[in-house]
Chain A
Amino acid sequence: MKDLRRILLRFLSLFTNSRAEAELDREIAAHLQLLEDDFLGQGMTPKEAHRAARRTYGGVEQVKQLHRDERAFQGLATITMDIRHTLRQLRKSPGFTLTAILMLAFGIGATTAVFSIVEGVLLRPLPFDDPDRLVVLGDNLVGSHWTRPTVTPPDVRNYMRDTHSFLHLGGYQRIGRELSGDGDPVHIFATRMSGEIFSTLATAPLMGRWFTQQEDEQHQPVVVLSYAMWRNRFHGDEKILGTKILLDRQPYLVIGIMPRDFEFPLVPGHLNSSELWVPLSLRPEEFTAGYAASWNFRMVGRLKPGVTPAQAQRDAQLVAEETMKNYPGFMRSLRIQSQVTLLHEDTVMQARPLVRTLLIAVTTVLLIACANLAGLLLVRSIRRRREIAVRLALGARPGMLLRQALVESLVLSVAGGLVGLAFAGACIRIGTSLLPETLPRIREISLDWPVVGFALALAILTGLVCGLAPAFAAIRTSVNDTLKEGGRTGTAGSGHGRLRSALVIAEIAVALVLLTASGLLLRSFEKMRQVDPGFRVDHTLTAYYVLPKERYATQSGVDNVTKDLLRSLRQLPGVKAAGTTSSRPGSGNNGGIAITVEGAVPRKDAELNMATVSLVQGDSFQALGIRLLRGRVFMESDKADSQLVAIVNRKLAEHYWPGDNPLGKRVRRGMPETPTPWLTVVGVVDDVKLGSADGETAEQFYQPATQQAISEGAFAPAGELTGTYGCIVLHTGTPPEQLENPLLAAVRKIDPQLPLVDMQTMESVISESEAPRLFNTVLISSFAMIALLLAVLGIYSVIAFSIALREQELAIRMALGCQRKGILHLVLTSAVKLGAIGCLLGLLTSTAVSHLLRTFLFGVSPFDPLVLMLSAVAMLSFALAASALPAMRAANINPIIALRGD
């Protein structure tokens, strides 16, 4: 107890030092006075009494030191002293202090912000219990080149029934549903999933309960709401539990509400995350024909204790072999391979390249910031060489000077770190609002304590590293030489000079790497903008619609409403052409289907012939502005019972019939063994970019939506209706935004409950598809700008300080007759020399790291000479500009004053 109290007091005394010293002085003075009084009383002379009092008391300074040692922790006291000393020193040179702190704040702030994002995306565990056991199970369809493993409905059943490696395993599919009844009808994103998935994820509902596997299998119409859906649509009313809502105009019983953080599937893009969950309840027809060959489902499971993903994959492969054995004839050539990956891997896969690039950019900026700080400290320590020499001569221990230098850089870096943290907080706010929606769990990104720890550790490391070099330079100071020089300091060619030059060169090189990266990305973006998408971008309005099956149960019902819709759209004022398509260009490629081409040699390598199919109605080619190259577009006469026709794109035509006339050739859906009818090619259109303009062009073909079911042959599920959904496309004579309300009104008139989904002008569709590349480009470019700014600052400060050191040398040169122009030349030449070496190194480094960037480039080689040259020239001119100001100042030195100075 008493010891604790004392430790606390000894620590606190560090901060009340001056008061305690004053008190001690007063007490000692009083004590001496009393002694003196007594000695005077004994008859001594005042002088003798004074001396006797001191003798009796003992050494005043020794007593004071003993008192201090007793009063406070002296090890700490020296450090507080050092810190006070440093703060005094720094206050005396605010320019240096501000530059150093801001530079570090920049570096550390950017690093922290990005680390937070990396942490949020890659390192943070999944928001589920024991996430390391959660896996995704799916098939790789050999020859399809699909990127994410998916499964078919029979797969879901087979894997769930026959595997032994999973504690729980279930399938799910993301779907769209029309939610109506209470308020305006809206289209929502939902997920149908096995009851087992709830056990897999092990997240308790906020209210109510989850549906069970049994309810799933019994096709119970129950629904679990997301927190957001519950709050927004149902105003957080708990009474919603036990009531019914209308999904696709069918009643569903609300049985549960999930907590706010629950998100499943963890999809790239949080804007369309699932708003509610319904049982998977696979329908009988989903096990037959085309459905059985549709890899549109995914599976997630929890591994049994002790089972590795690899073991689970072997287990699943056995089931897959059995599944393939039971394939119907028309699927017999298909081969699947089971794949088990960790859910975490699956979730972060898409974000990884971007995050990695960011990390590299940020490290670069931090390196430059550190180099700058080191350079500044180095120059500073050289300027203080005389002071240090004097202190060494007066008996300062080298260890003490080293400690002071370290304390100085640590104080700077901690201050920089703190300012940087504030900066990072702001950056994360802005950054998360700018990030592409494809970054998963973006809402979880925030500045948190591990990140703060990382930043401070980084700040301290920077301080230690940046402090050591100048500190050693300081203690290597030779007292004799420095003092003999009499202040004629800093002639070129010293070891410090070389270190300084090396730092500047490194900075230029590293900044140039980022500059070229940003240049290459800018060029890629420009190239992407130049790509001809193959369709009209302006004066086009689009919106999706889905006819609910419950309301439009017969083909004639669907056909009638479609006919009405197209007719009223064409009559809208300002509409030049109207049509619908199943795949809106610029919105993403849906993966494609296998096709068979008449006369084409079957491929031996098990590769499938894949093509993307679009089902169109009305004047969709005219509405989209897709150019017809040969033949004709579809007409009213292309009906379900007339000749089956197709229009192919140029790429598909050139692939299968190079140099031949494609008109009259025949293709069909499915593999060679699939019994599907032939489609006759009646037209060839230009290639269209279905995804973003920097993506691959797919082989495409178009069919009238009316002929879909018949062309699917054995794939066609019984009772399948065609033309039940599509994207309305309007070519307008007026600005397309003006037609949004007339379009809505026209649709309402035909079916007041039918919602339109994702109404957008083609221009905004395109800018959305460009967003990820734009983001990468802006991000890397802003890092390049920061790097450039820091490098310029670094060059400027080092050259300016060097010139301040060489002031006398330059003055002597001028006194001896050197022209001002000569001085200018001298300084600029040295800057250009550094710049040139730096640029050369930078270009070499750029080529060495080019492979990291290659995946982000489009239409540009990583060695693009124009970009490399321009960046190098820009860097060099910036270096020159940065040294011009100090050079000019050097040329304007007044030699008389400079020489008189010391």
Chain B
Amino acid sequence: MPSRENESIQLLQGTLDLIVLRTLDSMGSQHAYQIASRLEQVSGSLLNLNQGTLYPALVRLEQYGWIKGTWGKTENNREAKYYAITRAGQKALGEETQRWRRMAGLVEKLLVEEF
């Protein structure tokens, strides 16, 4: 019998962008693998994503000018592309967080009132 906890969540449109931005904002510059690991760690494998799924979000955010990628070295001297949040990205994160909270609050209210 599968438990409820093991069911993975379908990611809402646009939420991945917000999560990536938030991660980069709190953790500093990270490469794609680190971001993916962080996601898995936080969600407790609730978010069952292939790590490659991050890539479209990264290119989108980079084109918005919210993050910026530069090549660097890991502590094991492997090369990796590190993404850092930009000033515009931080501003956008603030706005997006606000928006998300309002939206979540609204949904929550609706769900509560329905019962």
Interface residues, chain A, CB within 8 Å of chain B? 2, 5-6, 9-10, 24, 26-28, 30-31, 33-35, 37, 56-60, 62-63, 66-67, 69-71
A6 touching B80, Cβ below 8 Å? no
A34 touching B64, Cβ below 8 Å? no
B63 touching A60, Cβ below 8 Å? no
Residues of chain A lying within 8 A (CB to CB) of residue B52: 28, 57-60, 62-63, 66
Q: In the complex the two chains form, what is the Cα distance from A48 to B12 in whole Å?
A: 33
Nearest chain A CB to B50 CB, angstrom units: 3
Residues of chain B lying within 8 A (CB to CB) of residue A33: 78
Q: Given A27-B81, A31-B33, A66-B55, are A9 and B50 also a contact pair (CB < 8 Å)? A: no
B63 touching A6, Cβ below 8 Å? yes
Chain A residue nearest to B92 (CB atoms) is: A2
Q: Given A62-B52, A66-B56, are A34 and B63 also a contact pair (CB < 8 Å)? A: no
Residues of chain B lying within 8 A (CB to CB) of residue A34: 31, 33, 74, 78, 80
Residues of chain A lying within 8 A (CB to CB) of residue B76: 37
B55 touching A67, Cβ below 8 Å? yes
Shortest 5 CB-CB distances between A and B: which pairs? A58-B50, A63-B52, A70-B56, A58-B52, A9-B63
B64 touching A5, Cβ below 8 Å? yes
Q: In the complex the two chains form, what is the Cα distance from A70 to B52 in whole Å?
A: 13
Residues of chain A lying within 8 A (CB to CB) of residue B59: 67, 70-71
Would you list 25 pairs from A and B whose C-beta atoms are within 8 A, ordered by A residue?
A: A2-B66, A5-B63, A5-B65, A6-B60, A6-B64, A26-B79, A28-B55, A30-B31, A31-B32, A33-B78, A34-B33, A34-B74, A35-B33, A56-B51, A57-B51, A58-B51, A60-B52, A63-B52, A63-B55, A66-B53, A66-B55, A67-B59, A70-B55, A70-B60, A71-B59
Nearest chain B CB to A845 CB, angstrom units: 60
Nearest chain B CB to A28 CB, angstrom units: 8
A30 touching B79, Cβ below 8 Å? yes
Residues of chain A lying within 8 A (CB to CB) of residue B51: 31, 35, 56-58
Chain B residue nearest to A9 (CB atoms) is: B63
Residues of chain A lying within 8 A (CB to CB) of residue B60: 6, 70
CB-contact partner of B80 in A24, A30, A56, A60, under 8 A: A30
Residues of chain B lying within 8 A (CB to CB) of residue A57: 50-52
Q: In the complex the two chains form, what is the Cα distance from A70 to B64 in whole Å?
A: 12
A10 touching B55, Cβ below 8 Å? no
Residues of chain B lying within 8 A (CB to CB) of residue A62: 52
Q: In the complex the two chains form, what is the Cα distance from A69 to B57 in whole Å?
A: 11
Residues of chain A lying within 8 A (CB to CB) of residue B78: 30, 33-34, 37
Nearest chain A CB to B71 CB, angstrom units: 8
Residues of chain A lying within 8 A (CB to CB) of residue B63: 5-6, 9-10, 71
B59-95 CB mask vs A (1 if < 8 Å, else 0) is 1100111100000001010111100000010001000
Q: Given A35-B33, A63-B55, are A56 and B81 also a contact pair (CB < 8 Å)? A: no
B10-22 CB mask vs A (1 if < 8 Å, else 0) is 0000000000000
Residues of chain B lying within 8 A (CB to CB) of residue A35: 33, 51
Number of interface residues of B (CB under 8 A): 23
B56 touching A67, Cβ below 8 Å? yes
B64 touching A58, Cβ below 8 Å? no
Interface residues, chain B, CB within 8 Å of chain A? 31-33, 50-53, 55-56, 59-60, 63-66, 74, 76, 78-81, 88, 92
Q: In the complex the two chains form, what is the Cα distance from A612 to B51 in whole Å?
A: 101
Q: In the complex the two chains form, what is the Cα distance from A30 to B55 in whole Å?
A: 13
Chain B residue nearest to A34 (CB atoms) is: B33
Residues of chain B lying within 8 A (CB to CB) of residue A31: 31-33, 51, 80
Chain A residue nearest to B60 (CB atoms) is: A70
Q: In the complex the two chains form, what is the Cα distance from A27 to B33 in whole Å?
A: 10
Nearest chain A CB to B93 CB, angstrom units: 13
Residues of chain B lying within 8 A (CB to CB) of residue A6: 60, 63-64
Chain B residue nearest to A3 (CB atoms) is: B64
- Known contacts A2-B88, A56-B50, A63-B50; 4 further A-B pairs (Cβ under 8 A): A10-B63, A34-B74, A34-B80, A67-B55
Q: In the complex the two chains form, what is the Cα distance from A363 to B60 in whole Å?
A: 51
Chain A residue nearest to B62 (CB atoms) is: A9
Q: In the complex the two chains form, what is the Cα distance from A24 to B71 in whole Å?
A: 12
Chain A residue nearest to B66 (CB atoms) is: A2
Chain B residue nearest to A29 (CB atoms) is: B79
Q: Given A31-B33, A34-B78, A37-B76, are A69 and B56 also a contact pair (CB < 8 Å)? A: yes
Q: Given A5-B63, A5-B64, A30-B78, are A63 and B53 also a contact pair (CB < 8 Å)? A: yes
Nearest chain B CB to A590 CB, angstrom units: 78
Residues of chain B lying within 8 A (CB to CB) of residue A10: 63
Residues of chain A lying within 8 A (CB to CB) of residue B32: 27, 31
Residues of chain B lying within 8 A (CB to CB) of residue A26: 79, 81
Q: In the complex the two chains form, what is the Cα distance from A62 to B51 in whole Å?
A: 12
Nearest chain B CB to A755 CB, angstrom units: 77
Residues of chain B lying within 8 A (CB to CB) of residue A9: 63
Most chain A CB within 10 A, of B31, B33, B65, is at B33
Q: In the complex the two chains form, what is the Cα distance from A69 to B63 in whole Å?
A: 13
Nearest chain A CB to B69 CB, angstrom units: 8
Residues of chain A lying within 8 A (CB to CB) of residue B33: 31, 34-35
Q: In the complex the two chains form, what is the Cα distance from A63 to B36 in whole Å?
A: 14
Q: In the complex the two chains form, what is the Cα distance from A63 to B78 in whole Å?
A: 22
Q: In the complex the two chains form, what is the Cα distance from A571 to B40 in whole Å?
A: 119
Residues of chain A lying within 8 A (CB to CB) of residue B79: 26, 30
Residues of chain B lying within 8 A (CB to CB) of residue A30: 31, 78-81
CB-contact partner of A2 in B53, B55, B64, under 8 A: B64
Nearest chain A CB to B57 CB, angstrom units: 8
Q: In the complex the two chains form, what is the Cα distance from A57 to B49 in whole Å?
A: 9
Q: In the complex the two chains form, what is the Cα distance from A56 to B53 in whole Å?
A: 11
B65 touching A2, Cβ below 8 Å? yes
Nearest chain B CB to A482 CB, angstrom units: 41
Residues of chain B lying within 8 A (CB to CB) of residue A60: 52
Residues of chain A lying within 8 A (CB to CB) of residue B64: 2, 5-6
Chain A residue nearest to B81 (CB atoms) is: A27
Residues of chain B lying within 8 A (CB to CB) of residue A71: 59, 63
Nearest chain B CB to A37 CB, angstrom units: 6
Q: In the complex the two chains form, what is the Cα distance from A67 to B66 in whole Å?
A: 17
Chain B residue nearest to A53 (CB atoms) is: B51
Residues of chain B lying within 8 A (CB to CB) of residue A5: 63-65
Chain B residue nearest to A67 (CB atoms) is: B55
Q: In the complex the two chains form, what is the Cα distance from A10 to B65 in whole Å?
A: 13
Chain B residue nearest to A2 (CB atoms) is: B64
Residues of chain A lying within 8 A (CB to CB) of residue B88: 2
Q: In the complex the two chains form, what is the Cα distance from A266 to B56 in whole Å?
A: 67
Nearest chain A CB to B95 CB, angstrom units: 11
Q: In the complex the two chains form, what is the Cα distance from A33 to B79 in whole Å?
A: 9
Q: In the complex the two chains form, what is the Cα distance from A26 to B55 in whole Å?
A: 13
Chain A residue nearest to B32 (CB atoms) is: A31
Residues of chain B lying within 8 A (CB to CB) of residue A28: 52, 55
B53 touching A58, Cβ below 8 Å? yes
